[in-house]
A = this chain, B = another copy of it.
Amino acid sequence: MFNERGYDGTSMEDLARALGVTKSAIYHHVSGKTELLSQSLDLALNALFAVTREEGATRGPAAQRLDHVLRGSVRVLVEELPHVTLLLRVRGNTAVEKRALERRREFDHHVADLVREGIVDGDIRSDIDPAVASRLLFGMVNSIVEWYKPDRGLAAEEVADSLSTIAFKGMRA
């Protein structure tokens, strides 16, 4: 509902009605809308950071670790689509949103570092700027929330393969 109507446009009453419960039933579990937003953003961010701690993201050459993080991020976006969609729309208007943006930046830096390391290793071409490259790579990943329709039978794995192919090998035959 936050994604459909906007966070400001959604009341606890709207949420209660959609869930078919009373407002007080929701307040039994969370302190209010802010906590729901915070939980949703944390869910998305925790899932993304979990990818960076997987074995494929911590062992081996940087280029390979970058590939693992890109593929893992695609998987997270597809699996947690509403939460990541919310995360990507956050503009930093409140403390909760500011904290989420800070964690997103931390994640972006991690990716840029992998590109940088890959260049030092000689595995990634040196004629691209690591900061620009990592932003473009996550432009591809994040675009998924705009166009991916879970019910059309396109698996996360297929999207991850296409993305990885374009990112590392390029489209040219």
Q: Identify the A interface with B (CB < 8 A).
A: 63, 115, 118-119, 122-129, 132-133, 135-144, 146-147, 154, 158-159, 162-163, 165-173
Contact = CB atoms under 8 A, between A and B. Distances in A.
B128 A172 contact: no
A151 to B, nearest CB: 16
A-B pairs, 5 with minimum CB distance: A139-B143, A170-B170, A169-B170, A139-B140, A136-B140
Contact of A136 (B118, B135, B154, B163): B163
Contact of A171 (B122, B125, B138): B125
B128 A173 contact: no
A118 B146 CA distance: 25
Instruction: Give the number of copies in the complex.
Output: 2
Tell me the interface secondary structure of chain A in the complex.
Answer: helix
B136 A169 contact: no
Contact of A172 (B123, B136, B141): B123
A94 to B, nearest CB: 16
A128 to B, nearest CB: 5
A173 B127 CA distance: 9
A138 B172 CA distance: 17
